[in-house]
Amino acid sequence: MQPGQMAYDRGITVFSPDGRLFQVEYAREAVKKGTTTIGLKFKDGVILLVDKHVSSRLVEPESIEKIYNIDEFIGCATSGLVADARVLVDEARKNAQNHKLTYNENITVEGLVKKVCDYKQYFTQYGGGRPFGTALLVAGADDLGIHLFETDPSGALVAYKAGCIGSGRPVVLDVFEKEYKDDMTLDEAMALGLKALAAATDDKPTPQTMEAGIVTVNKPFRRFTDDEISAFIGKE
């Protein structure tokens, strides 16, 4: 960083002369250092895959949670600071519950993601806090179809057919650009996701080193069991 720019990286409410918010950029760097997190739309739904990055054999793999249920038909996977992600997941759950109690209907996936992104954006505009150092891949199904959204520390959101956040993003997106198809079956989507995850981590995924979740148009969001993940890995 240039000496003249150092004053601008200390406050989240101050733009640098070239139009940058350095604290937001630093939050994005935290996401880039996070675990590789993948989302894929297939013919009937959306799958999420996450590298759990178990750093020591002394760690209980079950204690590392990267995929969360938000609402009946909405789930998410995270990359970046885990504690920040937990706060955002709680915020998303409260918004989904409040909408259900107020309107007696499930919130739309895009509506929920926009509320979470509004919450994230607040912490880039006012003093006394800092941006969230985490990004979410939100998968869900509603009356409008199936959806996969990525949220950014700035509060921006983008809809994807196939997306990735975390340290393996460049490698995973390169695989997806070459091999992703719109009408894939679940087996084909899982095979592609596992291939991309293996390429990004330089290691073959196992049920102990990854998590996976799924939502379809007529079945609620849920996590795959270890046996289901093993079965998909065995099909490769």
Query: Where residue 8 falls among pLDDT bands split at 50, 70, 90?
Result: low
What pLDDT score was predicted for residue 150?
97
What pLDDT score was predicted for residue 184?
96
What domains are defined for the chain? 22-235 (3.60.20.10)
- Flag whether pLDDT at 186 surpasses 80: yes
- Flag whether pLDDT at 97 surpasses 60: yes
The CA distance from 27 to 69, in Å, is: 24
What pLDDT score was predicted for residue 107?
96
The CA distance from 117 to 151, in Å, is: 7
139 or 26, greater pLDDT: 139
What pLDDT score was predicted for residue 43?
94
H or E stretch at 45: strand 45-51
- Flag whether pLDDT at 78 surpasses 90: yes
- Flag whether pLDDT at 15 surpasses 90: no
What pLDDT score was predicted for residue 16?
81
- Flag whether pLDDT at 56 surpasses 80: no
**Residue 108 · residue 164 · CB < 8 Å:** no
Within 7-125, residue ranges assigned H as helices are 22-32, 82-103, 109-122
What pLDDT score was predicted for residue 61?
73
Query: Where residue 58 falls among pLDDT bands split at 50, 70, 90?
Result: confident
Closest CA to 72 of 228, 225, 215, 232: 215
The CA distance from 193 to 114, in Å, is: 26
- Flag whether pLDDT at 128 surpasses 80: no
What pLDDT score was predicted for residue 57?
78
Told to judge if 35 belongs to the known catalytic residues of this protein, a careful annotator would answer: yes
Q: Residue 189: count other Cβ atoms within 10 Å of its Cβ.
A: 24
Enter the pTM of the model. Answer: 0.92
Q: What is Dmax (Cα atoms) for the chain?
A: 56
Query: Where residue 6 falls among pLDDT bands split at 50, 70, 90?
Result: low
From 13, 35, 102, 209, the catalytic residue:
35
Q: To 10 degrees, what angle do helices 226-235 and 186-201 make?
A: 90
